């Protein structure tokens, strides 16, 4: 493990707590933070704003790969800008969640975003904590520490409901958490830990307990 830079990769399904965990770890270690899911949501804004229907695969590819997508890597402040427009709040709206699979299930879109994500990771001077669905296997397979964070479906839906409140009903919640996982699993395996990836089930753990567990893994890896 490098003593100069530290790259932590965290995978997991929707609602597993990977975003909160990654931010907490980044803050504790003074590292940058990358929410790759926010980039997929940003790309969704790009194709919708271009007037492209989700079923128009070629149109989605053109609109998303040509978009100017900027995401902050400050764990204390998220900012997402698409083609000069701040979409930080919008990317969390149910409409975006419902239509993001038009980006995440298209190989060309994923390849474009993976290249952008790798560039962000490489540009972080001290290192970064990156989280998403294919970080440990595709985006950063050589990360210093790789972790798959999971939780049972009931716990994941309860966490997402706590985040969104009255913005979603039960059907929309299940769509966001379960249907999206099913769609994305067509291209990415984020439910089974690959070789060298540590699996952590956070179903019955508090957020701080999960963060502490990850910090312990990092400490062990550092020797």
The four Cα atoms 28, 160, 80, 10 give a dihedral, to 10 degrees, of 50
Class of domain 7-222: alpha beta
- pLDDT one-digit tens code per residue, 113-150: 999 999 999 999 999 999 998 899 999 999 999 999 99
Predicted model pTM? 0.85
* Helix, strand or coil, per DSSP, at residue 179: helix
Amino acid 189: pLDDT:
63
Q: Where are the domains of the chain?
A: 7-222
Q: Residue 69 CB: number of other CB atoms within 10 A?
A: 21
68-77 pLDDT per residue, tens = 999 999 999 9
* Joined tokens for residue 100: 């993001």
Which three-class secondary structure state does DSSP give residue 35? Answer: strand
Q: For Cα atoms 65, 81, 107, give the angle at the middle one, nearest 5 degrees.
A: 25
Q: For the ranges 13-27, 160-174, 177-191, which has the lowest average pLDDT? A: 177-191
- Reported as a pLDDT band with limits 50, 70 and 90, residue 33 is very high
Band the pLDDT of 88: cuts 50, 70, 90.
Answer: very high
User: Taking a C-beta distance cutoff of 8 angstroms, is the pair 51, 174 a contact?
Assistant: no
């Amino acid at each position: 493990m490098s003593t100069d830079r530290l790259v932590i990769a965290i995978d997991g399904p929707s609602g597993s707590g990977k975003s909160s965990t990654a931010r907490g770890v980044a803050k504790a270690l003074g590292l940058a933070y990358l929410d790759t899911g926010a980039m997929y949501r940003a790309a969704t804004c790009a194709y919708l704003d271009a007037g492209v229907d989700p079923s128009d695969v070629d149109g989605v590819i053109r609109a998303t790969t040509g978009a100017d997508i900027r995401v902050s890597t400050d764990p204390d402040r998220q900012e997402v800008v698409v083609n000069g427009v701040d979409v930080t709040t919008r990317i969390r709206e149910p409409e975006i969640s419902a239509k993001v699979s038009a980006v995440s299930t298209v190989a060309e879109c994923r390849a474009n975003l993976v290249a952008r994500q790798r560039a962000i990771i490489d540009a972080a001077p001290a290192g970064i904590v990156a989280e998403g669905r294919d970080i440990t296997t595709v985006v950063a397979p050589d990360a210093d520490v790789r972790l798959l964070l999971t939780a049972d479906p009931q716990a994941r839906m309860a966490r997402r409901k706590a985040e969104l409140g009255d913005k979603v009903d039960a059907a929309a919640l299940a769509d966001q958490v379960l249907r999206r996982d099913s769609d994305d699993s067509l291209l990415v395996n984020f439910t089974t830990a690959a070789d060298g990836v540590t699996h952590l089930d956070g179903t019955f753990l508090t957020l701080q307990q999960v963060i502490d567990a990850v910090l312990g893994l990092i400490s062990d890896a550092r020797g």
